[in-house]
Amino acid sequence: MLHKVSLGVRDISKYRLLLAGELIDELERLAAELKGVRICHINSTPFGGGVAELLSSYIPLVRDLGLDIDWQVIYGDRRFFSITKSIHNALQGGDGRFIRGEETQRGYKSQSLLNAQEMDRNYDVFIVNDPQPAALPHFSDEAQAKWIWRCHVDSSEPNEEAWQFLRPYIEEFDAAVFTMSKFVPPDLMGPRIATMPPAIDPFSSKNMPLPRTLCRELLQNLGLDPKRPLIIQVSRFDQWKDPFGVIRVHRMVRQEVPGLQLALVGSLAGDDPESMDMYAAIHREVDKDKDIYVFSNLTGVGNMEVNVFQTACDVAIQKSIREGFGLVVSEALWKQTAMVAGNAGGIPLQMSGKLSQYLISSEEECAEKVLYLLQHPDIAAELGQEGKEHIRQNFLMPRLIKDELSLIKSLLQD
Amino acid sequence: MLHKVSLGVRDISKYRLLLAGELIDELERLAAELKGVRICHINSTPFGGGVAELLSSYIPLVRDLGLDIDWQVIYGDRRFFSITKSIHNALQGGDGRFIRGEETQRGYKSQSLLNAQEMDRNYDVFIVNDPQPAALPHFSDEAQAKWIWRCHVDSSEPNEEAWQFLRPYIEEFDAAVFTMSKFVPPDLMGPRIATMPPAIDPFSSKNMPLPRTLCRELLQNLGLDPKRPLIIQVSRFDQWKDPFGVIRVHRMVRQEVPGLQLALVGSLAGDDPESMDMYAAIHREVDKDKDIYVFSNLTGVGNMEVNVFQTACDVAIQKSIREGFGLVVSEALWKQTAMVAGNAGGIPLQMSGKLSQYLISSEEECAEKVLYLLQHPDIAAELGQEGKEHIRQNFLMPRLIKDELSLIKSLLQD
C-alpha cells in the first residue's frame, strides 16, 4: 500500500473573518453537491517543498467542508527520483539535464507500475501532482475514476525530449491544471485544460499576524537595529532570484538612506551544492558589510522568522529574473508590506493595479522604486493596504478550493 | 587571508535584568584588566551547528565589554573536511570512521599549513574550536600568542588511532578546554586543562519570552489542539536521541491521559542520509497516529517554533541514550518547563536538586515520570521554576564569558 499522510481537520469557518461570507457559502454548496465523492491527492513527498506545504493546509480545510479527501505518497528509490528530478528540471526548460537512455526510462515505468499496483484505488477522483506520479493512470486499470494532473512548475518552454517522453502519460488524464495559462505546453492535446494559481494559508506560522513588539524584539535579538529602515528579500539562494543584484540595489539606495539595513532570508538544502556555494559566496560578500544580514534554515531561521521579516520591514524586494509563481510576493503583500519585484513568472498576477508600477526589470529601476517608497512611507502604506486586499480576494486557500472543487464537479458531470 | 565573520556588538547590560548585578560587574572588572588584549576565535564554519551559534551570541557581548575579539574561519576543500569530520566522529568514539592513510593525513597537514599562513596573526590569544583547526599552532610560527583549544564534543573515549594522530597537535596548546571534566582524554599531557560547560542566549529567537496567546495560536495553526495536553522532544533525528522510544513512551502515557499529544521537533541536514532515513521512518510510523506530530526545518520549523513548543508544552522529554552536553535541556528549563531526561552526557549537570529525580534510564521509567508530572501540574510548575533558576545561575552566556576571560587572564599572567 502507498503511504497515506495523516492530517486532521481545520476549521474553514475561520475564513469567514477574512473573506466575504459568500465565498465560504459557495464552497459549502459545492461540497454539498460533491457529498460522497472520494478524492485523493497523490504526490511524491509528505514533507518539504511547496506542494507538500500546500496540501498540508489544503486537505484539512476540504475535510472540514464534509468531503472525503486523502493524500497518498508514491514510493521510489534513488534512481527513480533522479529521473523524475531530471524530468522536473527539464519541464522548466533546464538544458541537458534530462536523463536520457532506455534503461532509466524503464526505471521510471517499472516504478510507476509498482506504485499503480500499490495505490489505494477506492477513490472517484485522483489529483496527481507534478511529473513524479504522472504515469499512474497509464499503469492503473482504474477506468471509472477521473484523473487530474496538477502541474506546479512553469512548463511553457520544456526541454523537448523530456516533454515528449512525458506527454503521452499526461494526455491520458481527464484534465490538466496549470498555475497560469502561459505555462501550458502548446502541443498538449486531450485533457481539459484548467488554470489555477496557488494560494497562501493566512493562518500558518508564516502568515499569521504577529505582535509588532515581538517583531521589533526579534530583529534586535538577531542583531538588527529596529529603529533603522530595513529592506528584505526572502528567497532561495539561487541565481534566478538575483541576490547579488539585491545587494547592489541596497548599496545604491543606502547612499541616499544612510543606515539602511538589508536582510537576505532564505532556505537551502544541504544536499544542493549549487545553493550551498552561492550561500557561502553571499556570506563572503556581505560579512564585511555591517548593514547586510543573511539568515537561513541553516541558522535556525524558519517560517515565523520569515513572517517577522515580512511584517517588520519597510520594503520587500523580490528581484526575480525568472520565476515560477513567486508566492512569496503574496506572503509579503498579505502583511501590508510594500513590494518591489521583478516582472517575471506569476509575479505580475499578484501585483495588479497601482502595485504594477513597482514591477521592475533592472537594478537601477529597482533601486529607484525602493528609494521612492522609503522616502514616501505614506505611499508605501497605501500600496501595502492595496496589496493585502488583492491577496485577500485572489490568493487565499478558499479560492483555490473553489477552483479545484468546481473542476471536479464539471468533470463528474461529463 | 582567512575569512573574518562580521558581527556587531550586543548590549551586555541587558543581562542585568536577569542576573545578579555582581556577575556583570565582575565581567566588567575582568574586561578592564584585559583591556587591549586582542582575542580571536577560530573555527571551521560561520553558520550551521552549535559552535557557530554560540560564537554568534558570545562575541558581540564580549565586544560590548570593550574587548577586542574577532572570529576567523579556516578554509578547506571537500577532502579536508572529510578527514576532519572523520576525526570529529572518531573523537566521540565512533568506530571505524577515522579515515586512515598517509595521504589523507598529509591532506590535513598541508591544508593546516595553508590556513596557518593565511590567518591574521595580530592577536594575543587564539581560541581554536574543535579538531578542524587544531594543527594551526603547530604550523604557525606565532610563539608570542597564547593558544587555547576548545573541544565541544565528548572525547572521553576517543577512537585510539584518531586521538593519537590528533594528540601531538593538542599538546602544543597552552590550554585545552572541555565541556565537562569527564570528557578529558586520560593521556592528554601538557596544556593546562579547564572545563567550561556551554551556555544559552536568553535573548535569542529560540529563548526569548513569547506571549502565551501567540504560542496557543501557533499550535492551533500547526494542527495541534491547545486545549489537550502536549509533550515534546526537541532533538536531531538520530538513534542516540531515541525518538522511537519517545513514541512508545507517549503511547504508554496516553493510555492514562487520553488525547495526549506528542510533538517531535528537530532539524536535519539534507546531506545526511542517515538522519533523512530516520526522519522518513518516523513519519511512516506516526503518520497513522493522529496524536503525534513531527516538525523539522524541512517544513520551515525554525528557532521561534522550537521556542513555542518548549514554552507551551506540559512536559519536555529528552530521552537521550548518549549525549554530548544536551544544551536543549537548558533551553526547555529556561522556559520553566518540567523536564524528563536521560541520565547521559551533560544532562545531569543541568538537572540538579529536585530535578534529578526526573533523570531516567528506561522507557518505563520515562513514562512513569511523564505521567506523574501530567497528573501533578503543581509539581511540574515547581520543577519548572527550580529549573529556570538553576539555568539562570549556571548556563547563561555571562557565566561562560567569565570562565573564558578568567582562563585568558591566568594564561597571560603565566
Q: Mind listing the pLDDT tens digit for each residue in A185-234?
A: 989 999 999 999 999 999 999 999 999 899 999 998 888 999 999 999 99
How many cross-chain Cβ pairs, A to B, lie less than 8 Å apart? Answer: 126
Q: Where do the DSSP E strands lie in B144-185?
A: 146-150, 175-178
- Kindly list the residues from chain B whose CB atom is less than 8 angstroms away from the CB atom of residue A50: none
Distance (Å) from the alpha carbon of A303 to chain B's nearest alpha carbon: 5
- Kindly list the residues from chain B whose CB atom is less than 8 angstroms away from the CB atom of residue A218: 205, 208, 304
For B281, the closest chain A residue by CA position comes to A3
Interchain contact, B302 vs A298, CB within 8 Å = no
Count of alpha carbons within 13 angstroms of residue A217, beta-carbon side: 17
- What pLDDT does A272 receive? 66
Q: How many CB atoms lie within 10 A of CB A271?
A: 13
Cα B285 to Cα B305: distance, rounded to the nearest angstrom: 23
Q: Where do the DSSP E strands lie in A245-311?
A: 261-266, 292-296
Q: Map grid coordinates 510548575 to a residue.
A: B381
Distance (Å) from the alpha carbon of B93 to chain A's nearest alpha carbon: 25
Interchain contact, A6 vs B288, CB within 8 Å = yes
Q: List CB contacts of B206: < 8 A, sequence separation 6 or more.
A: A300, B200, B303, B304, B306, B307, B331
Distance (Å) from the alpha carbon of B362 to chain A's nearest alpha carbon: 29
* B212-394 has the same fold as B3-199+397-413: yes
The alpha carbon of A160 is separated from its chain's Cα centroid by a whole number of angstroms, namely: 25
The alpha carbon of B165 is separated from its chain's Cα centroid by a whole number of angstroms, namely: 25
Q: Shortest CB distance from B283 goes to which of A46, A211, A288?
A: A46
- What pLDDT does A331 receive? 97
Q: Positive or negative CA dihedral for B398, B399, B402, B405? A: negative
- Kindly list the residues from chain B whose CB atom is less than 8 angstroms away from the CB atom of residue A60: 223
- Kindly list the residues from chain A whose CB atom is less than 8 angstroms away from the CB atom of residue B296: 47
Average pLDDT, chain A: 91
Sheet-wide strand order for B38-43: B3-4, B68-73, B38-43, B125-129, B146-150, B175-178, B192-195
For B206, the closest chain A residue by CA position comes to A300
Interchain contact, A60 vs B223, CB within 8 Å = yes
Report helix, strand or coil for B266.
Answer: strand
For B291, the closest chain A residue by CA position comes to A8
For A54, the closest chain B residue by CA position comes to B299
Q: List CB contacts of A176: < 8 A, sequence separation 6 or more.
A: A148, A149, A151, A170, A184, A188, A191, A192, A193, A194
Distance (Å) from the alpha carbon of A404 to chain B's nearest alpha carbon: 23
Report helix, strand or coil for B94.
Answer: coil
- Kindly list the residues from chain B whose CB atom is less than 8 angstroms away from the CB atom of residue A271: 269-271
For A299, the closest chain B residue by CA position comes to B48
Report helix, strand or coil for A202.
Answer: coil
Instruction: State the pLDDT confidence band at A270, using cuts at 50, 70 and 90.
Output: low
For B73, the closest chain A residue by CA position comes to A284
**Burial degree of A331 (CB within 10 A; 0-12, 13-18, 19+):** buried
Cα A380 to Cα A336: distance, rounded to the nearest angstrom: 9
Instruction: State the pLDDT confidence band at A275, using cuts at 50, 70 and 90.
Output: confident
- What pLDDT does A79 receive? 80
Summarised one tens digit per residue, pLDDT across range A111-160 is 999 999 999 999 999 999 999 999 999 999 777 899 999 999 888 888 88
Cα pseudo-dihedral B285, B287, B292, B297, rounded to 10: 100
Distance (Å) from the alpha carbon of B168 to chain A's nearest alpha carbon: 32
- What pLDDT does A255 receive? 97
For B301, the closest chain A residue by CA position comes to A302
Select the residue from B7, B118, B298 to test the A interface by mutation, using most A Cβ atoms within 10 A: B298
Distance (Å) from the alpha carbon of B60 to chain A's nearest alpha carbon: 9
- Kindly list the residues from chain A whose CB atom is less than 8 angstroms away from the CB atom of residue B52: 299
Report helix, strand or coil for A262.
Answer: strand
Q: Residue A307 pLDDT > 90, yes or no?
A: yes
Q: Shortest CB distance from A287 goes to which of B6, B222, B290?
A: B6
Sheet-wide strand order for A68-73: A3-4, A68-73, A38-43, A125-129, A146-150, A175-178, A192-195
- What pLDDT does B143 receive? 78
Cα B366 to Cα A271: distance, rounded to the nearest angstrom: 36
Q: Please name every residue paired with A125 in a beta bridge, in sequence order, or none if there are none.
A: A39, A146
The CA distances from residue B73 to A54, B46, B172, B239, B301, in Å, are 39, 7, 20, 31, 28
- Kindly list the residues from chain B whose CB atom is less than 8 angstroms away from the CB atom of residue A3: 284, 287
Count of alpha carbons within 13 angstroms of residue B27, beta-carbon side: 24
- Amino acid present at A132: Q
- Kindly list the residues from chain A whose CB atom is less than 8 angstroms away from the CB atom of residue B289: 6
The kind and range of the H/E element at B151 are: none
Interchain contact, B303 vs A298, CB within 8 Å = no
Q: Shortest CB distance from A305 goes to which of B203, B205, B218?
A: B205
Interchain contact, A287 vs B210, CB within 8 Å = no
- Kindly list the residues from chain A whose CB atom is less than 8 angstroms away from the CB atom of residue B269: 270-271
Interchain contact, B221 vs A210, CB within 8 Å = no
Find, among A151, A164, A80, A149, the residue nearest to A114 by Cα.
Answer: A80
Fold held by B212-394: Rossmann fold (3.40.50)
Interchain contact, A223 vs B10, CB within 8 Å = yes
- What pLDDT does A314 receive? 97
Cβ density class B144-181: b for 16+ within 10 Å, e for less: ebbbbbbbbbbbbebbeebbebbbebbebbbbbbbbbe
- Kindly list the residues from chain B whose CB atom is less than 8 angstroms away from the CB atom of residue A7: 223
Find, among B331, B398, B201, the residue nearest to A222 by Cα.
Answer: B201
- Kindly list the residues from chain B whose CB atom is less than 8 angstroms away from the CB atom of residue A211: 211, 214
Cα A402 to Cα A195: distance, rounded to the nearest angstrom: 12
Find, among B411, B413, B405, B412, the residue nearest to B29 by Cα.
Answer: B405
Find, among A283, A278, A277, the residue nearest to A299 by Cα.
Answer: A283
- What pLDDT does A157 receive? 86
C-alpha cell at B103: 595521504
The CA distances from residue A382 to A231, A339, A374, B144, in Å, are 17, 11, 13, 62
Alpha helices in B194-298 (DSSP H): 212-221, 243-254, 273-286
- Amino acid present at A163: W
For B46, the closest chain A residue by CA position comes to A283
Distance (Å) from the alpha carbon of A222 to chain B's nearest alpha carbon: 7
Interchain contact, B10 vs A301, CB within 8 Å = no
Summarised one tens digit per residue, pLDDT across range B355-383 is 999 999 999 999 999 999 999 999 999 99
For A47, the closest chain B residue by CA position comes to B299
Phi, psi of B195 (to 5 degrees): -125, 135
Phi-psi region of A141 (alpha: psi -120 to 50; beta: other; left: phi over 0): alpha
- What pLDDT does B271 receive? 60
**Burial degree of B1 (CB within 10 A; 0-12, 13-18, 19+):** exposed
What average pLDDT score do residues A340-354 get?
95
- What pLDDT does A96 receive? 53
Interchain contact, A300 vs B4, CB within 8 Å = no
Interchain contact, B301 vs A302, CB within 8 Å = yes
- What pLDDT does B270 receive? 59
CA end-to-end span of chain A, whole Å?
30
- Kindly list the residues from chain A whose CB atom is less than 8 angstroms away from the CB atom of residue B234: none
The answer to which of A84-93, A395-404, B89-98, B365-374 has the lowest mean pLDDT is B89-98
Interchain contact, B6 vs A290, CB within 8 Å = yes
Sheet-wide strand order for B338-342: B292-296, B261-266, B230-234, B315-318, B338-342, B359-360
Domain boundaries, chain A: 3-199+397-413, 212-394
Select the residue from B2, B214, B221, B288 to test the A interface by mutation, using most A Cβ atoms within 10 A: B221
Instruction: Say what angle helices A243-254 and A363-375 make with each other, to 10 degrees.
Output: 50
Q: Map grid coordinates 556581505 to a residue.
A: A286
Select the residue from A210, A297, A327 to test the B interface by mutation, using most B Cβ atoms within 10 A: A297
Alpha helices in B222-362 (DSSP H): 243-254, 273-286, 303-312, 328-334, 347-350
Instruction: State the pLDDT confidence band at A11, using cuts at 50, 70 and 90.
Output: confident
Task: Kindly provide the ipTM of the predicted complex, given to two decimals.
Answer: 0.77
Cα B283 to Cα A331: distance, rounded to the nearest angstrom: 28
Contact, B65 vs B31, CB < 8 A? Answer: yes
Q: Which residues of chain B have pLDDT under 70?
A: 94-99, 269-272
Distance (Å) from the alpha carbon of B73 to chain A's nearest alpha carbon: 11
Contact, B214 vs A211, CB < 8 A? Answer: yes
CATH superfamily of A3-199+397-413: Glycogen Phosphorylase B; (3.40.50.2000)
